[in-house]
Structure 1
């Protein structure tokens, strides 16, 4: 059975596409005159846009942070991970600064000291996390194994006896304040009566 000529294809020597055999000559003339294969990606692009295609798609670009020229495909990775001028944060003070300055900054910043509120010792910031896990006065460490720390009956009774003097002195204070208040009221009352009698005379 004969194959229709429209279904017979030929490969264009310029663009490597399969073209119906009856149209191959016309296609090749048009293709070779107007299209150009990109040497980087292999796409066929119009000859008048070939340079623009290369510049916009494949040409190395300068990093806007450090001016280093890198391939366009890895520009995002360069800016996020490798650029010496990318902004990073100090792990001790959270100050943002260029990555190129981070090492020297942390050498100084990490040697600053901070007071440990558990043991009242000054600890370097670079050693803070290690100190917190080993600080002998830390609540987690000082607590030790769990045990019953509730006071016994005798301890509660002893504590009650120790608190009694404070309770007595507090009652005496309230009594003294009350007596003083009454005395002031009586004094002001008698003074007012005396002033009234003097005015009547």
Structure 2
């Protein structure tokens, strides 16, 4: 007798598509054919008694706020990754707006200027993050994390002799 379940010979159940130990296969097959059905849409095995609920909750058609029709099980992923009405943050001001409006807003927002607190020049907001003398956390004035470059001044000391 095998010590571990991995050591047992198995057979593929034609109904549920799972590997079943040979010693249990006959009883499994009888039970499976009577109680388990394959979803015709997603091809996943489900208890026949739950199939109607599965179809109604997972495969019914819903309409997203962008008016796209899709299966209910796909809605969450669509809203988070694909929907043009999903919210996103402006990289310049952290304003939250829909992806549809984001590019126009970022073009406008990045074209504004702000006074650099270190060099005193007006700098485009979109360039604040890479402004050579200004390194900050979020690209907004007033959040200084590094000091400005320091000038190195070399001085030469001369010693005059105190000796006659």
Which ranges in structure 2 are unaligned for 5 or more consecutive residues? Answer: 1-12, 135-145, 158-164
Q: Which runs of 5+ in 1 are unaligned?
A: 1-11, 153-201
Q: Which has the larger radius of gyration?
A: 1
* Equivalent residue, structure 2, for 1:45: 48
CA 1:86/1:14 → structure 2, altered by over 3 Å: closer, same or farther?
closer
For normalisation by structure 1, the TM-score amounts to: 0.47
Alignment partner, residue 77 of structure 1: 77
Deviations along 1:134-166, whole A, 9 cap, x unmatched? 46xx9522x134x789xx9xxxxxxxxxxxxxx
Distance 1:51 1:116, change over 3 A: same
Determine which structure has the larger helix proportion and give its number: 1
Q: How many corresponding residue pairs?
A: 124
Contact kept? 1:15, 1:37, Cα under 8 Å: yes
Structure 1 segment 32-181 matched on structure 2, within 5 A = 36-39=37-40, 40=42, 41-46=44-49, 50-63=51-64, 65-131=65-131, 133-134=132-133, 139-141=147-149, 143-145=150-152
How well do the aligned residues superpose, as a CA RMSD in angstroms?
Answer: 3.8
| Matched position secondary structure for 2:48 | strand
The Cα shift of 1:60 comes to 4.5
Alpha-carbon distance, 1:14 to partner: 7.2
Greater alpha carbon shift after TM alignment, 80-89 vs 50-59: 50-59
Q: Which residue of 1 aligns with 2:10?
A: none
Q: CA deviation at 1:124?
A: 0.8
Query: In 2 relative to 1, CA 116–52 (structure 1 residues): closer, same or farther, beyond 3 Å?
Result: same
Q: Distance in 2 between matches of 1:37 and 1:81?
A: 29
Q: Which has the higher contact order (CA 8 A, sep 6+)?
A: 2
Q: TM-score, normalised by structure 2?
A: 0.56
Give SS of 1:140's match: coil
